[in-house]
Every structure is written in structure tokens, then in C-alpha cells.
Structure 1
């Protein structure tokens, strides 16, 4: 099915969701504000624009500020399209593409002109940031309405899955280019340039800041720098980087070694665990159980490689597994990299708690067809956490010589984007690598 047909079905699903959400919240209209640019303090330079994801779900216009969408049950959606007369910047082109035929589109030159096309009567709900307010149309973000829309956003339409697959294919090209640059001895900065060049992105429009970490830097979970100079020896390389398609994001991590057998054994152990966890992305599976099983599987890797002389169960109970794997196994993925409603108990609100002792897990819901999640186990050698372990009662169970040796490689993380289906999971990431 072509993207136009998929989008038409997508729009129908969104309209049904909005009608239900408006009925629950007691409103007649829903307005979605795209958002406005934000500026540096005491300066006229703007930050990279970040659009309201609710707006982006309806139209693939990630750079479109000052726009509005008007949704009224029984009527065609209205798009107010801001196209300023501007010689300082490149103004948006005229609306075009597979989506335009589904909207009544009104082009405006100044933001204040939008009010002429917004409803004047009835109960109006407005989703957006406070600074997007316009002539009395002030975002109020009704909680009942948001609870419903956010909960159901986890279930991707065919159009959304199409975009997520393409985002994975774009990112896979970048990952392969980055791995080649690593093998050539490039710096973190140069590796990132290779990634961006292969994906056709820049540092502004990637879905998140790329993590490009050589050697010990791989032990920093969200390593935020990129050294311009290459190290004397590139022992290991961890890259966590994604791409976007029509506003939908991929989120992929790979770890590479440079010939060291002990570090490669660690990579192989994490990958085997990761693939087993991917197989658990199935209808009816509690995501919290996948997270706990990740601890047990990674603890088994630590035991098998002789790093920790304790059973996986004992490592989990004592907290040792969390020293080496201190983050959650993954999260929902879609319009936002860490997509909304990961803890939602239902479309009426409420929260599903994280398992005790696991404060960084971002998803606690039961999986169902249409959900797209990441599966990203890792093992790291983080000085701060290792010092605490060494000073604690279980220090004697650790082979500290082996830990010190592997610390020079930083750590390992392997992350795939996986769609839950009515049958076997669809691994968007592995499929993308196979395609490119």
C-alpha cells in the first residue's frame, strides 16, 4: 500500500480518537498549536525549533512554527499554515504532498491572522505550550483529553509503522558509515560527520544528540561530547544515534570492538541476551518482566565471563546487576524518542509503577499489537558505581582485575526498535540493516 493510502487510514484513526477524547473531556473543538520559536536570553538568536508532537502526528511538517490544526467532529480538519513573507530566512514552500488533500488549508503571512480561522463558539480544548497562545486562544491541555490521546498514541497506525521503518533504514546507513570511520581510526567528531553525511541529516534535525563514544567514553550512558582529536588507540566504539522520517524517530545503538577477544566476548554475550529479549516483545507480555529478565540474562553474562562469582538471581537480589546495567531495558518509540504514556494504566489515566529497585525504567505497560519499543540491554564499567560496589559487602564476588581490564573499553549497549504484532515481533532495526 502506498503512503497516501496509509496516511488516509491514519487520519481516519486519529479523527476517531479525537472524537472520543472530546466527548470524554466535554469539548466541541480541539485546537493544536504547532508552537513558536524560542530565543536565547538577551539575544535575537533562536533555538532549534521543536514542534508540538500532537501537531506532527497530523501533518508531516516538523519545521512549521505558528501553525494551527482545528478538529471538529463531523467536519474536515482545518490547517492554518504560516508562510511568512521573509527575506531573512527561507520561508516554507506552499503546502504540498500526499497529505494536503485531506485538509482545508488557510495560508497566513502573520501569526495573528490565524485567529480568523479558529472557532468562535463552543467549548474549545487547546493543546500546546503556553507561549503559543493567540488572541485569547490559550492552550489549556485538558488532562482527560490528553490521557486518552497519549494512551492510544502507543498503538501505531500503518502509516506510522511505515515511517518508523524508513527512519530505521536511514539510521542503518549512518551506523554502517560510522562503523567504517571507526575502523579507519577517526575521531568521535569525524565519526559523527560520517554518520550525518550517510543519513542526510545535520546536528539539528536528528531526533536526539548522537552519542558517539570511543574507549572509556562508552561508560557514560548519555555521553554528550565529541572529541575532535582521535585517541592514540581506538579500542572500542559505541554509537547511539537515530533518524527521522515524517517526524517519526528511530533509536539504534551498536557497539564495536577492535580485535580484543575479551571485549568481543562481552559484546557477543550482550547481543545474545538482546536477541532473546527482543523475542519477548509479544502481545500480552508485561514490559516490566522483560526488564527484570534483562537483569538476569546480563548477570548470566557476567557470571559466564567470570566477572562476578554469583548466580544471576543473587546478583539481581543484591543489586550487583544494576551496577553493570543501571538503566531501563527500553521505552516506547514514535513521534518522540521517549514517547508518552509509558506508565499509563488506561486511557482514563492512572499509573503503573516501576518494579521496586528499578527507578529508571521508562515503560511499565503490557505490550499489545501496534506498540513499538526499544530493547537496549547494556553492560558498563562506570567508576562511580564500581567504587560503591568495591566498598560494599559483595566486593569479594567480583574479579577486579578483569573489571579493570575491560574498563578501558567503557561498555557495551545494543539497541533495536521492535514492533509488537499479533504474532512474532518485527525487528525494525535488524530488518533495516539487512536491507542496506
Structure 2
């Protein structure tokens, strides 16, 4: 039996436990989850890329099963209503198979409306989690807040099965990152590197968990740069790649930055950010407030800027005046798992509520206290972004910055290093570093 197969029964047991609690909170008898549907773009005959409902793929590793349904009732074996249509225009999904099928009662249907024969009799007794277009007959998603809040809050805690799925996604992502770096050093364009990445990952835009960020030189200063020039620059200086991969519905999220000249000062700055990032990763421990990791990151990155002569003031002063935010304008990271930006990052409890972001830090995506089982990204960055640096001048802090040093680094765009890290009862597990180490 494979490791994934061995871990799956306890994963399903945990989902059953959570479902029973969530249904009790909402006063429902059944959890009903549509897998999602394909639907057309407005005023066109092209459909949007299908994306499986995360609530559905939490139960089973099916990511291409539009029109299917899952029914979970406490005390009963969950039911999978699997749409396998008669269709000669498209590839018909294969019949369910694998280590997980024995845990479900599986019914095959040929038309979407046939699902009604197998769904619970009374939709009013069901918590139906999905998007509006998943409606079939009188079964329409109602997404009751007590149920959704409970399930999404607890989804932050990954089962050992889920951690293994993320580990498998990381292996694929690491392989593709290595191929992308080789392509950059061989002189490929951004678009060419993207194609190499997809080939090495064996995944295209519809398979990858998010759109690849492939940025050469100044483009590294655009946080979500996805334009991808088709012509390589004459003088490549730097390469920032933020790209992930998926494995049976679970994501990895990896960012690395490289200098073309390994002996350059920019590479030295990359190395300094990398060292600081490892310290931040070590903070992913039970009882640590994730907000504090973010605030500590500002001090650490301001220290890097000070060491490289980019700022003239102390790291503490740079943070207090907001100067550090001009160079590090995003959050330190987010939850990760079934979604790249996993849900309930601000949840105060499984009943709802919001934990506020720190003042002056509007882009942080996670504010919870870390507990064993949580998986997060740690992604500090330093960038040279004109519009943000102009704000430093407008706010009266121009004297805090050595603008000649900024001009020296600006052609390199920016630096970001990102790992996926799992909180445990002891030392954190860095899936990304483990993946690179295993790849050699």
C-alpha cells in the first residue's frame, strides 16, 4: 500500500468528524457538495476553464469531474454521484478508481439532472456548498455561514494525508523550477522559460494552481508580473520566478530569485534575503502569532537594506516611518493547501469573526496564531518600485534613502524567496527546502 493510501482513511475520518460538527452548527442533516460546472463566457461560445469546487476535492482526489456531487451524512458512507456523460465532443471522465474509491458509495450518472434521483429527498435539510451555476432541479447551493465558517476554519489544519499531497506537489514544482533556472541561464525569453516550466511540471495553465510569474530584470519589481516577453533581453541581469504545481488538488507555491552574475552585488543581496527568510521559516511554530512574523520580517529586511547602503536610517526607524513598506509592500505570506491562498486566514474562530491586520499592513493575508497542522508560505521580498519610492519622497522621508544605491539596484527589479512550511508540535517542516534538497 502506498503512503498516500495508508494516510487516506484517517483523513476521511477527520472530514467526517468536521462535517458532523459543522452540520450540527447549522442544524442540517446532510452535507451536499457539487463539484462545479463548466460555463460559458458572456456573449461568446467559449467556456471558462473548469475549476473544481475546493469543498469537493477536500474529500477525494478528483479535479476534473464537472457535474458530479458528493453527499456526506453523519453515520453513513459518503456518496459520490459521478457524471460520466455520453459525449463525443470531449474526453469523458474515466470511471473512478484508486485507493480512495472503497470509502465511497459511487453512483454513475449520464445526465446532470439524473443526480436528483440520488440526492437527499429534502434540500431544506441540506447544507449545499457551491456556486450558483451548480444548481440542478430544486438543489441550489445555500452556503450556510455556520457550516462554511466551521469547515473553512478547520481546513487550516492539514491532515498527514494532505501534507503528503503538498509534498508531492512540491516535488513537481521543484523539478520545474530547476528547469526554468537552466533556461534563464541559457538565454531564454520569459515566455520560453514559462514553456520550459510547464513542460518540466507536465502541467499547463489549466493545471497549475496559479499563473506563473516569470520576470527578468526590471520586471521583477512587478509583484504579479504575468506578461512574459517573447524576446529575451540582450543583457539578462536577474530572474524572479514565482510558480507552483498541483498534485490531486493540492498546491505548492515556490519563489526563487537569481542573479545572472553569481558574483554580483545583487546576488549577495539575494543571499542576505535568503538567510533572513530561513530565520522567518523557523518562526513557524505552535503559539506564534503570524502577524508577528510579518512585523519581524520588516525589521529583518530593513536590516538588509541598511547593510547594503540602500537606507541611511536604522531598521527600526525605517519600519516606524513606513520606509520599509516601500521596499517590502506585501504580506509575509498566507495559508496554503487546497487553494494557493487558503481560506479563513483572518478567522477569529470556527464561528466566524475577523482578526484584524496590523495597522499600516493592509496586504497581509493571514492573521491567526499558528497551531500544529497549519501550512503557510513565508515569502519576504525587496523591490525597487518607482511609484512606492516616490511616495517615500512625498512623505518627507527622502533623506532616509540613498538614491544612488536605489538606482544601482533598480535594473534588477526585486527579490522574493518563498517556501511552504508546515507547523508541527516541534520544529517546522519546510516542504520547499526539503524538496530542493531531495532533488539534489
For normalisation by structure 2, the TM-score amounts to: 0.98
What is the distance in 2 between the residues matched to 1:28 and 1:329? 40
Partner of 2:4: 3
1:290 aligns to 2:293 (yes or no): yes
What is the distance in 1 between the residues matched to 2:354 and 2:53? 23
What is the distance in 2 between the residues matched to 1:269 and 1:2? 37
Question: How far is 1:4 from its partner?
Answer: 1.3
Secondary structure of 1:250's aligned partner: strand
Number of residue pairs matched by the alignment: 436
1:94 aligns to 2:95 (yes or no): yes
Question: How far is 1:227 from its partner?
Answer: 0.7
Partner of 2:22: 21
1:314 aligns to 2:317 (yes or no): yes
What is the distance in 1 between the residues matched to 2:45 and 2:62? 24
1:132 aligns to 2:139 (yes or no): no
1:83 aligns to 2:56 (yes or no): no
Partner of 2:342: 339
Stretch moving more, 387-396 or 106-115? 387-396
What is the distance in 2 between the residues matched to 1:236 and 1:2? 39
Question: How far is 1:207 from its partner?
Answer: 0.2
What is the distance in 2 between the residues matched to 1:14 and 1:115? 24
Partner of 1:411: 414
Question: How far is 1:415 from its partner?
Answer: 0.1
Question: How far is 1:348 from its partner?
Answer: 1.0
Question: How far is 1:392 from its partner?
Answer: 3.0
The RMSD of aligned alpha carbons is 0.9
What is the distance in 2 between the residues matched to 1:75 and 1:222? 45
Partner of 1:57: 58
What is the distance in 2 between the residues matched to 1:126 and 1:357? 38
Question: How far is 1:226 from its partner?
Answer: 0.8
1:25-75 Cα distance to aligned partner (Å, 9 max, x none): 100111001111121222221111011100010111111111100111111
1:359 aligns to 2:385 (yes or no): no
What is the distance in 2 between the residues matched to 1:312 and 1:374? 24
1:309-335 Cα distance to aligned partner (Å, 9 max, x none): 111111111000000000000000000
Flag structure 2 segments of 5+ consecutive residues without an equivalent.
none
- Whether contact under 8 Å (2:318, 2:400) holds in the other structure is no
Question: How far is 1:390 from its partner?
Answer: 2.6
Partner of 2:238: 236
Question: Within 5 A, what are the aligned runs for 1:5-404?
Answer: 5-121=6-122, 123-259=125-261, 261-404=264-407
Flag structure 1 segments of 5+ consecutive residues without an equivalent.
none
Secondary structure of 2:412's aligned partner: coil
For normalisation by structure 1, the TM-score amounts to: 0.99
What is the distance in 1 between the residues matched to 2:126 and 2:165? 31
Secondary structure of 2:5's aligned partner: helix
Structure 1 runs of 4+ with >2 Å offset? none
What is the distance in 2 between the residues matched to 1:392 and 1:58? 51
What is the distance in 2 between the residues matched to 1:261 and 1:217? 19
What is the distance in 2 between the residues matched to 1:144 and 1:411? 42
Question: How far is 1:269 from its partner?
Answer: 1.4
